Amino acid sequence: MTTNPTATLAAARDVIRREGAGVLSVAEQVDETFLRVVDLLLECRGKVFVTGSGTSGAVARRMAHLLSVCGTPALFLPGMDALHGTMGAVAHGDVLITISHGGESDELNQLSERVQRRGVPVIALTAQAQSTLGRLADVTVIVDAGPDVDPGGLVAMGSTLVAAVWGDALAYILMRARGYGWEEVLFTHPAGAVGRRTAAPEALPGLEPAADAREG
């Protein structure tokens, strides 16, 4: 082994600790804008689209999947594909969630601006409130764990985790607000280990439908 084992393990642990601290910091950033997003998605009578590019695209795909699993039908919309015609799937009554850490991805900003012309509200998930995306969105959600979570402030590592965990919280809260139960989850997830379960699990604390899920 060409590297020092002790130093290598210490560096690996440092990465994990820094990213873990970044994820925990998101809890303090959940504010009134989160409630606005919840209300907007609960009131949506069309489709929910989630878009992003690069690592943010991976987070967007995951978020769309988890929203669907938890009872909020959602689809991943690749930004560049959308600019080549797939944008036609987005119509009045839909909602678009755009994920971009820096908020300056040209294809995502152009997509967001164009769907707004169709009366589609845009939710931005970004670290930069004054970015192009942050300024044009109908609801701008700031999720910023600081520069230390990404090596050199360039390689998207921890920043993608903080966006993902915010999306997890959103899917969870919407699941509660809709009263979407384990039976529905099992019905729409017949494959894999989940599909082999013969009975729904007991309700976990806080997961059962709550009348106050949207009350502030």
Q: Is 73 exposed, middle or buried (0-12, 13-18, 19+ CB in 10 A)?
A: exposed
Can you give the residue ranges of every domain in the chain? 15-189
Please tell me the predicted confidence (pLDDT) of residue 202: 66
Domain 15-189 fold: Rossmann fold (3.40.50)
Nearest CA to 121 among 81, 92, 101? 92
- 59 vs 192, which has greater pLDDT? 59
Please tell me the predicted confidence (pLDDT) of residue 152: 78
Written in H, E and C, the secondary structure of the chain is: CCCCHHHHHHHHHHHHHHHHHHHHHHHHHCCHHHHHHHHHHHHCCCCEEEEECCHHHHHHHHHHHHHHHCCCCEEECCHHHHCCCHHHHCCCCCEEEEECCCCCCHHHHHHHHHHHHCCCCEEEEECCCCCHHHHHCCEEEECCCCHHHCHHHCCCCHHHHHHHHHHHHHHHHHHHHHCCCHHHHHHCCCCHHHHCCCCCCCCCCCCCCCCCCCCC
Please tell me the predicted confidence (pLDDT) of residue 151: 81
Q: Quick one: pLDDT band at residue 93, thresholds 50, 70, 90?
A: very high
* pLDDT, tens digit, 9 for 90 and up, residues 133-168: 999 999 999 999 887 788 877 788 888 999 999 999
Please tell me the predicted confidence (pLDDT) of residue 216: 43
What lies within 8 Å, CB to CB, of 169 at 6+ separation is 26, 30, 34
Please tell me the predicted confidence (pLDDT) of residue 188: 67
- 95 vs 150, which has greater pLDDT? 95
Please tell me the predicted confidence (pLDDT) of residue 157: 85
* pLDDT, tens digit, 9 for 90 and up, residues 5-58: 999 999 999 999 999 999 999 999 999 999 999 999 999 999 999 999 999 999
Please tell me the predicted confidence (pLDDT) of residue 146: 81
pTM of the model: 0.88
Calculate what percentage of the chain has a pLDDT beyond 90: 72
